[in-house]
Chains A and B, each alone.
Chain A
Amino acid sequence: MTAHPKTHTLRLTFPSSVNEEEKPAIGPAVLIDTQTGQRVTGMVLDVAPKKEKRDNQITKIIPYFSKQFNAIWLPLSEKYGRSKYLSIAAIYASMSITVLIGSFFVRGWQLGVIYNIARRMPVIAPSIEKLADVGKFIADGILLIFIKFLYDVPKILFLVVFGFELIEAGLDFLYWFIDFTFGDETKSYFGYLKENSLPEMKESFIWQLIIYLVYSTIVTPVFKIMSMKYAFSRRSAIFFNGKEIIDSLRVYYSRSRSTLAAYLWDLLVTGIGSLLTLFFLFIPVLGIFAAAFARFAFTHWPKSYGYGTLARIYIETRVLDPAKYATQK
């Protein structure tokens, strides 16, 4: 199809065992995959000691979001992409009858997308060629949802503990209201709110909000980083490795702007998806399928693209090294 073959340039790094003096020379060379024996001939263009690079590019939120918005239409702009995109969406929609299976599947698929974008694979969408591939994504999704639940247990406990207080405050109000309507209570509405409800509610509600926000903004991105590591290593034990969790916190901290931008994008598209779902569910029967397509197009795909580009930022600014996890196989 293409008349002139495109040239690819790889930037390679050598481990510390190679001395500065014994570095490769500029000129013809062969790149070998020692496992498969695959060989690629090419040229070494330049050899240089690595410059210390700092992530000094400020992630501007508006250009970032507009770039992510454009990615929503990316699959539709390609001839093959369109049909593949629609067939995956159709599989997901056909699963929407049993909502759980669908959400398992789509999470596994997202992990595949994140991996492919992060590793700069020539094709973004992970291949689905047989039923076992669908099953593989479902299995991945079960694992991810289960582990996300375990990560979220402290948050849920806190919310439940403070939630009871909130319910209590609400019921106290109800109690006052009943008394008030039957004339037993003399305190006025605003008087009651000011003296009883608000102080009660304020404390528990504010605590709930703070815990929810803090916990989510810390743990959810860390979980995403951990799932990137899982995608590289394919070992589920990595999720409970204390060292790796601390390492993920370090990754998050050192690229906090990019991470938070991706997390905000995640929240935004999840919100859009939920709204669209609500809207479509007003249509009987077909609405379920339409909602599934909408969720796939406006939540799941852009979300995975966002985290995929985030993983790529991590790799290229060298805070995350996939090779380290790949060798642990």
Chain B
Amino acid sequence: MHDKQDQTLIEAEFSFDDSQSLKVLDGSSLALSQQIDGETIDYPVSVFSTTSSTAQFAGTNDMANLWQHVWIEFGKMLAPFKNVVNFLLVLGLGIALNFLQWAIQLNAPLARGWRLDIVRRMGEGSARIVPNLLPLSIWRYFRKGLVLIVMRALYFLPHAVFIFLSSNQFFLKLKDIALWGFSKMRGKEEEAIVDYLLRTLPEFAFELMLQFVVVLLYMVLVWPIYRITMIKYAMGQIRGYDFLNPAVFRDSARIYTKDPANVLGVYFFTLLIDFVVTLIIFMLVSASLGFIGLVLPMIVLFLQHWPKGYAYGMLARQLVQKGYIANPKRGKEEYNQLL
């Protein structure tokens, strides 16, 4: 096919200077326009090769890149704390959580529900993104957080069960081998070790591979879908039990396949936060000989829940802006102006 085309092709050399930049050299939509005898003729063309100066790894304007973006986003993320009231609201909850950790394990649902409220506020385009601490709201955070924890457990239950059963197989095999060894020593066993291993070894390898594949599937499929459903739940568009609704699951999967870039970008960011915060806490705890444990919930609230809530909020904004999640309360134009 190429050879046939090649014979009828004509080649032209076209030169222009550096001050004119031509970014798109895709060839799909280029035309060469020329005045011949006062008549303008357009030739459709494609670029065969260029002799422009050798490419650079990075351009000068590339410096307005990720780090600057990250810096700006960090600034935005920290901006609410410049207001003393907001800071006190978060600090107040942090102090409350410090006490709660001794009373009863209420921390996790409360902090998670609080985080959901940040997501809701950002998704709706509210001017204030720091959740308030009215008694009724606190009850709501707690309730929503509890639902979320239960649903999360249900989502990851198959994974946990699988890993448990699969690891169980490992231990059973090990036990079998040990038992076989004992009976062999007592001269009661007939089956040779070779035959026994031959029967079991392939299963070992199979189990390992299966575990790996399941972890992979959970990471790239279930996690993003769960997060999108979580955003819908935070925005009050679905009820708690809808986490298990196949239609909702399918819709979240559809959103994920339409816009994987934003979802996975936030995924990376939250993983990074989890890692960094774990590292910081590990260092703080070891440096303070464990005393920092007294105020740990407050530190976690500031360092982990706030940035993660903010990140999911950014994702919620993106999804609302692109129309994947129904726009709450406002018209699209108005919403976009808000941001």
Chain A residues close to B by CB (< 8 Å)? 2, 5-18, 20, 22-25, 27-36, 38, 40-50, 52, 74-75, 78, 80-81, 83-85, 87, 91, 94-95, 97-98, 100-101, 104-105, 116-117, 119-125, 127-136, 138-139, 142, 164, 167-168, 171-172, 174-175, 178, 315-316, 318-319, 321-323, 326-327, 329
Task: Say yes or no for B105: interface residue by CB 8 A criterion.
Answer: no
Find out whether the CB atom of A13 lies under 8 angstroms from the CB atom of B260. no
> Digit string of B5-27 for contact with A (CB within 8 Å is 1, else 0)?
11111111111111111111111
Find out whether the CB atom of B194 lies under 8 angstroms from the CB atom of A172. yes
Find out whether the CB atom of B43 lies under 8 angstroms from the CB atom of A14. yes
Closest A residue to B196 by CB, please name it.
Answer: A171
- Given known A-B contacts A8-B16, A11-B50, A315-B49, A48 and B31 have beta carbons under 8 A apart: no
Interface centre among B12, B197, B198, B263 (most CB of A within 10 A): B12
On chain A, the residues within 8 Å of B268 by CB distance are: 95, 101, 105, 131, 134-135, 138
Find out whether the CB atom of B12 lies under 8 angstroms from the CB atom of A44. yes
Find out whether the CB atom of A8 lies under 8 angstroms from the CB atom of B50. yes
A245 to B154, CA, bound (A): 42
Closest B residue to A116 by CB, please name it.
Answer: B55
Find out whether the CB atom of A133 lies under 8 angstroms from the CB atom of B29. no
A interface SS class: mixed
On chain A, the residues within 8 Å of B32 by CB distance are: 12, 24, 29-32, 44
On chain A, the residues within 8 Å of B23 by CB distance are: 38
- Given known A-B contacts A16-B9, A101-B268, A8 and B18 have beta carbons under 8 A apart: yes
In the complex, which of the residues A43, A50, A83, A119 contacts B26, with contact meaning CB atoms closer than 8 Å? A119
Within the complex, the shortest CB–CB distance from A33 to chain B, in Å, comes to 5
A269 to B272, CA, bound (A): 28
Find out whether the CB atom of A178 lies under 8 angstroms from the CB atom of B47. no
On chain B, the residues within 8 Å of A45 by CB distance are: 12-15
A120 to B216, CA, bound (A): 35
For residues 15 through 64 of chain B, which have their beta carbon under 8 Å from a beta carbon of chain A?
15-36, 41-53, 55-60, 62-64
Find out whether the CB atom of A80 lies under 8 angstroms from the CB atom of B9. no
Closest B residue to A85 by CB, please name it.
Answer: B57
Find out whether the CB atom of B194 lies under 8 angstroms from the CB atom of A123. no
For residues 63 through 84 of chain B, which have their beta carbon under 8 Å from a beta carbon of chain A?
63-67, 69, 73
In the complex, which of the residues A40, A87, A122, A136 contacts B67, with contact meaning CB atoms closer than 8 Å? A87
Within the complex, the shortest CB–CB distance from A35 to chain B, in Å, comes to 4
Task: Say yes or no for B181: interface residue by CB 8 A criterion.
Answer: no
Within the complex, the shortest CB–CB distance from B231 to chain A, in Å, comes to 15
Find out whether the CB atom of A44 lies under 8 angstroms from the CB atom of B14. yes
On chain B, the residues within 8 Å of A329 by CB distance are: 28
Task: Say yes or no for B271: interface residue by CB 8 A criterion.
Answer: yes
A121 to B24, CA, bound (A): 9
A132 to B23, CA, bound (A): 22
A48 to B62, CA, bound (A): 38
In the complex, which of the residues A6, A46, A124 contacts B57, with contact meaning CB atoms closer than 8 Å? A124
On chain B, the residues within 8 Å of A139 by CB distance are: 260-261, 264
Task: Say yes or no for B300: interface residue by CB 8 A criterion.
Answer: no
Interface centre among B9, B14, B34, B267 (most CB of A within 10 A): B14
A292 to B48, CA, bound (A): 37
Find out whether the CB atom of A33 lies under 8 angstroms from the CB atom of B29. yes
Find out whether the CB atom of B49 lies under 8 angstroms from the CB atom of A11. yes
Name 29 interchain pairs, CB-CB below 8 A, sorted by A. Answer: A2-B18, A5-B18, A6-B17, A8-B17, A13-B48, A14-B10, A15-B5, A34-B31, A35-B24, A41-B16, A43-B14, A47-B10, A47-B11, A50-B11, A78-B58, A81-B58, A83-B58, A87-B67, A101-B271, A124-B56, A125-B57, A131-B73, A131-B268, A132-B261, A132-B318, A135-B263, A139-B261, A139-B264, A323-B26
> Digit string of B242-277 for contact with A (CB within 8 Å is 1, else 0)?
000000000000000000111111111101100100
A257 to B30, CA, bound (A): 33
On chain A, the residues within 8 Å of B9 by CB distance are: 13-16, 49-50
On chain B, the residues within 8 Å of A128 by CB distance are: 65-66
